[in-house]
Structure 1
Amino acid sequence: MRVYDRFSHPKSCDSVATARIFILLELERSTLVEQTFPDPYTYLWAPDAYARDLREPLPGVDPEPKVALGLGAMEFKQPKKMRRELDDEPTRFGASWFGGRPFATGQSWPVGPDGIPLTHIVQVDLGYEAVNVGDHGFEPTGLPPEGIIQLFHDTENMGDPEDVEDLASPPWAVRYFIPASDEIDTFEILDTPAGVRDPIPLIPLDIDGFMTVKDQFSIKFTNERVHDRYSELFELAEFEIYDRLLRFEAPRLEHRPGDPGFHAEERISRMSGWSPGEIREEYEGILPEVLPLADTSDGYVLLFEFNPRTFDTPGWFHEPPLQVWILKSDLDARRFENVRCLIWTDS
């Protein structure tokens, strides 16, 4: 539990009394986790150990825990701000953001099949976040521990297979590059071209690792009691990262835990890990259809899942979550041109 990290920032709370109230809420939540299930945050380096220690409270259930990076909006972080850590070696800070303009990669701004420039959705500095989260917590995500990744998308396309006529020119693009320097003040930022649909204002990201488990609809239970306990585990795992990233920093007050209007069903955006959304029957066959496995040793990785409702961009991108999938073999080989985007319209 990291109470003081969250409450030491001058913009974290309006008063000492407010801070005390939230600390008590955090202590109460932490006690509940410890009494009911092992605290997932202490297992980031060892998902297998977390699965093992869940066998007693959840007999006969395999939650298949996976580590993800939570992507939350940060109101106070300034892009292009530098800080020094790791024996005063300069590292990048503030190069991860939602919307805005991306760093130049040596390629032109990507366009969709209709020739219209795609909207820049997100840029994540994986090299910095690997340091920020720590090697032990970052490695289980399976994501590259170096480089900067960018996602662009056509905000009018729903990702249905019939809407993608030519995979050589899909309505999305993923760019990945390894910068030659940590001095981000020297990086060139691309100008947004004319004609981009729904450009998004830049929102800096607060990123941290967290444990995810399968949703309760993806597991067969032997009895209702185990089902109910597992549902508690799922909600606690999802709330844990939401609580750490968005308690004070969610742009909309109703998205902050502790606010009377907080909507717990809003799931944090993420990279890797499990999706929090129930995969309904009509979707079960879509992913193998659009992204077939070459052999049984391969698998699917959730590269991104964005929930627009957790960012201050009401009405953007149809509102349902956007998912970006990639084969593990392609991720390991850094073949990001082979991703497939889907939007769960009833998630």
Structure 2
Amino acid sequence: MEIVARWRALVASSASLDLESWEREHAGLVAATAAILEQGGPDRDEVIAAFRAARGVDEELRSALAGVLLPAPGLALEDPEALLDHPEVRPIAGLIRIRPALALTVLRQSDQQVDVEIHRSWFAGSPAQIACVDGGAPAPEVDLAPRRPDGRPLTHVLQVDLRAESRNQGADRLAGAGLPDDGILNLFHDLETLGTQAHDDPSAWRVTWRAVPDDDVALVPPRDPATPPAVLLNPQMMLTIERPADRSQLGGEDAERLARLSALVEAHPYDSNPPFDPVGDLDDHFDEAVGDEADPPCPWDDDFVPVEPLSRMGGFGEAGHGGALHAVLRDRLPLEPGDGYVLLLAVSPRAVESELATLASMEPLEPEARRVLAAPLEVWARARDGARRDVANVWCFLGDR
């Protein structure tokens, strides 16, 4: 194919061409390749085939083609419109929506035993308490041991310290995901009520939000030493994509574009979540887990294996596609004009298992954590409630174990 031959020639002449001539030829190739990718068809297929064939053989050519072919989800967090304008995405831009979210990625640390003041969010375990460092009155508390009306205790599923994440990610980024930038959120559930029927009892779950005082506070570890934080988190920002409710709108090539883009944005938080290595003892473990491959496969390679969808706060979820689950939301959380539904939380147990497996030295989930993280779970709220930190009226969907 002519365009690939021109890329090969440019890569081969990079040492001999003067800078002005190289930049002129490069700009022309980028524009021509972008047009081919957007138009689709056999010429696009040949560009992708050349990109794949260059892996491990001609890394300079692969890198040059990647610069045009692959969207950059990290940059798109700052400018989502730039992602929609990418030549691989532009043909489907009118069929999808993108929204940032807070990915609840697992702390990649060999023993998960670190200072709770550094990593203040976790799955399972127990909710932390808040106390003033200067010895003042403790922060106002909410009920951190909720029960169903029959007296059965609800299980603690998740804690997220939003004030800490506001500092880590930036308040503007959290606001872009529709999330509060302060307080601590905890999720409790009885782990058996599915929520898929409008007559299900919402006392089977509870979400709490606790304000954190403006003065210095300490996050006190759980009172019961028998239930330490089970799986510590190191959250990252990510993009999520809402797929068309009517899949018939997507032709074969458009469906393939959407699948690759979805896989790319889902994998990005994994890639941007470095091991927490305060004493420098994780290098060998990490190398053993991920291998020595300098150029691992990406979603445009045939051998790429999509990652498990990550747990997250905000973004899009399955109940947003309409159908039976959406009908339950309309029944139990009726909307006022101008309001809508937002995904507050999505818990993905298989992603947790997958993340823990990336470090060869990490043990599988403890039995209690495995019980808590046995099934996927989504928590939905009305947008107006979420904006005012009102988490008393939410609806939870518990998936198959």
**How does the TM-score come out when normalised to structure 1?**
0.71
Identify the residue that residue 106 of structure 1 maps to in structure 2. Answer: 141
Q: CA deviation at 1:171?
A: 1.0
Report SS of the residue matched to 2:97.
coil
Aligned to 2:163: 127
Question: Per the alignment, do residues 34 and 178 of structure 1 end up closer, same or farther by CA in structure 2, a change over 3 Å counting?
Answer: farther
For residues 213-232 of structure 1, the aligned pairs below 5 Å read: 213-215=241-243, 219-232=247-260
Specify the code of the residue in structure 1 equivalent to 2:100: V
Name the amino acid aligned to 1:141. A
| Cα shift at 1:55 | 8.0
Q: 2-side partners of 1:200 and 1:216: how far apart?
A: 41
1:44 pairs with one of 60, 77, 80: 77
Query: Given the alignment of the two structures, is residue 211 of structure 1 paired with residue 245 of structure 2, yes or no?
Result: no
The residue type paired with residue 133 of structure 1 is Q
Task: State the alpha-carbon separation in 2 of the partners of residues 59 and 303 from structure 1.
Answer: 26
Alignment match, 1:70: 103
- Aligned counterpart, 1:305: 346
Cα distance per residue 1:41-75 (max 9 Å; x no partner): 11213334433446864256332100011111114
Map of 1:59-208 to 2, 5 A cutoff?
59=92, 61-76=94-109, 78=113, 80-82=115-117, 93-104=118-129, 106-108=141-143, 109-161=145-197, 164-165=200-201, 167=202, 170-180=203-213, 183-184=216-217, 186-191=218-223, 202-208=230-236
Q: Provide the rounded CA distance (Å) in 2 between the counterparts of 1:29 and 1:217.
A: 35
Determine the structure 2 residue equivalent to 1:12: none
Q: Percent identity?
A: 30
Alpha-carbon deviation of 1:226?
A: 1.4
SS at match of 1:337: coil
Instruction: Provide the C-alpha distance between the structure 2 equivalents of 1:245 and 1:127, rounded to a whole number of angstroms.
Output: 19
Q: Is the 8 A contact 1:33 1:39 kept in 2?
A: no
Q: State the one-letter code of the partner of 1:302.
A: L
- Residue pair 1:273, 1:302 contacting (<8 A) in 2 also: yes
User: How many angstroms apart in 1 are the aligned matches of 2:107 and 2:392?
Assistant: 29
* Greater share of residues in helix: 2
- How many angstroms apart in 2 are the aligned matches of 1:137 and 1:33? 27
Q: Which amino acid aligns with 2:312?
A: R
Distance 1:172 1:60, change over 3 A: closer
Q: Secondary structure at the match of 1:237?
A: helix
Aligned residues: 296
The answer for unaligned runs of 5 or more in structure 2 is: 1-59, 130-139, 278-285, 297-303, 353-363
Alpha-carbon distance, 1:240 to partner: 1.6
Q: Is the 8 A contact 2:380 2:395 kept in 1?
A: yes
Q: Which runs of 5+ in 1 are unaligned?
A: 1-26, 83-92
Q: Which amino acid aligns with 2:124?
A: G
1:176-203 Cα offsets, whole Å, 9 max, x none, are: 112226755x444454599xxxx78521
Residue of structure 1 equivalent to 2:329: 287
Task: Work out the CA distance in 2 between the residues paired with 1:28 and 1:240.
Answer: 23
In the aligned structure 1, how far is the partner of 2:88 from the partner of 2:141? Answer: 50
In the superposition, the TM-score normalised over structure 2's length comes to 0.63
Please tell me the root mean square deviation across aligned C-alpha atoms, in Å: 3.8
C-alpha contact (below 8 Å) 1:247/1:258 kept by paired residues: no
